[in-house]
Amino acid sequence: MARCVVAIDQGTTATTVLVVDEALRVRARATEELPQLFPRPGWVEHDPRAIWETVEAALARALPAAGCAAHEIAAVGVTNQRETTLLWERASGRPLHHAIVWQDRRTTERCAALRATGLEPLYRQRTGLVLDPYFSGTKLAWLLDHCDPQRTRARRGELAFGTVDSYLLWQLTGGAVHVTDPSNASRTLLFGLEHLRWEPELLAPLDIPEAVLPTVRSSSEVYGLTRGVRALPDGIPIAGLAGDQQAALFGQACFAPGDAKCTYGTGAFLLVNTGSRPLPSQHGLLTTVAWRLGEQVSYALEGSAFIAGAAVQWLRDGLGLIDEAGAIEALARRVPDSGGVVFVPALVGLGAPYWRPEARGLISGLTRGTTAAHLARATLEGIACQICELAEAMAGDLGAELGSFRVDGGAARNDLLMQLQADLLGHALVRPAITETTALGAALLAGLATGVWPDQAAIGAAWQAERTFEPQLAAAQRTERLAEWRRAVARA
């Protein structure tokens, strides 16, 4: 009897359900788009009910296509857009407000006020994060200020906070379970990396009662059973939880310290496994929990480039240079190089290692001979140069070069971008057979807890590469191009 695992990948713009079997064959996939809400400039929200509707709709399409009978579904795993913050009533399950999305900047002033009181070193040391509205803590404080300003209901335990994983687990179990895992908890500004717990010293400045927070469990165990889900039978174990980037790291079988993966989506996220101890960054990166399996904890360093695939979308929608995002590769291949054009895609500021929200996009080196093809190639090089800077920062923190370097995400299917990345890194890139590694990671964590795969060694053995990109650029040329990039960044 074949066993299947269902993975729910709830992302910023869509929900995907992936069904895989024991041999890591994809039996079915289905995706449902999620509407974005922009009530004010800089504010980004989701309707929690719409989030759940996309999950049920994707499940309803994927499960029949997979051909799995109810008794063949071994487990469900959940991965999610991180930092997005929800607040609901425990008794009714009613959301008290729209979810505040990770991209939302409404708590910028609150973060500045915390920095002004000298609290950033405390948060940096305890959580591995910076005081930025990106993270969940100030979002939750804002929700409580508006929905329960005196914190009366929160202190009585009547309200529940969660990132999207917690909200989905609540829905999947019919309100029986309020749980998160360390990979998501470590993105809230409220969770200490050393002791893996909610810390009163981090809660107090934001006036957040601990009674509102979920219980933190491991990333791979049975949290509860499905109940009352329209497209799933009751009684199926929900057994895997991880934030999307950590799930992708697991899905890429990056189990050894030094193993790295880069996910190329709207932005790009580079994570490296740093082993069993949190490694504070001296180069502008974030320290985070990768996953916890039983009592074994793995940590990671993370660097984020806010704009990657979104730069290609800008060429399409803003400039009209291409009709569809996939056309950029053919356009960029019309020229052998960028003709001296450098594009810094700081369209929403610069993330790690700079953390410069005031930076703006910049295109330099234009001449009368510059064509659309040069600009397309410079865009791909700009994406790749951002990742080079993150990799260099990681090597500085590790005191060693990165080990394996695996790639995934939609833009990882662009062969020219991957070759440019290998050339500029001076490091081989490996693209897996399954590029939907975020959903795959959630499935693997759930299957690990329920015996579908016996251990991480079995997962590593089943993981398959599709293509390796070897660097072809001379070291002197690589150094010159990165120097050009850094000069442009200084002007952005």
Span 182-198, pLDDT tens digits:
999 999 999 999 899 99
Whole-angstrom Cα distance, residue 88 to residue 86?
A: 7
> 1 pLDDT exceeds 60?
no
Residue 430 bridge partners (DSSP): 406, 468
Say what the pLDDT of residue 2 is: 66
Span 48-66, pLDDT tens digits:
999 999 999 999 999 998 8
What's the rounded mean pLDDT across residues 451-457? 90
- pTM, two decimals, is 0.89
Could you identify the residue written with the tokens 């990948």? 9
As a whole number, the mean pLDDT across the chain is: 91
Q: What are phi and psi of 135, to 5 degrees?
A: -90, 165
Whole-angstrom Cα distance, residue 444 to residue 312?
A: 31
Nearest to 165 by CA among 227, 96, 215, 97: 215
Nearest to 21 by CA among 456, 466, 444: 444
Span 212-240, pLDDT tens digits:
999 999 999 999 999 999 889 999 999 99
Q: For the chain, how big is the Rg over CA atoms in Å?
A: 22
Domains of the chain: 4-244 (3.30.420.40), 253-492 (3.30.420.40)
Whole-angstrom Cα distance, residue 93 to residue 174?
A: 9
Q: Biggest alpha carbon distance in the chain?
A: 68
Least confidently predicted of 162-171, 192-201, 332-341, 352-361: 352-361
Asked whether the beta carbons of 455 and 462 are under 8 A apart, the reply is: no
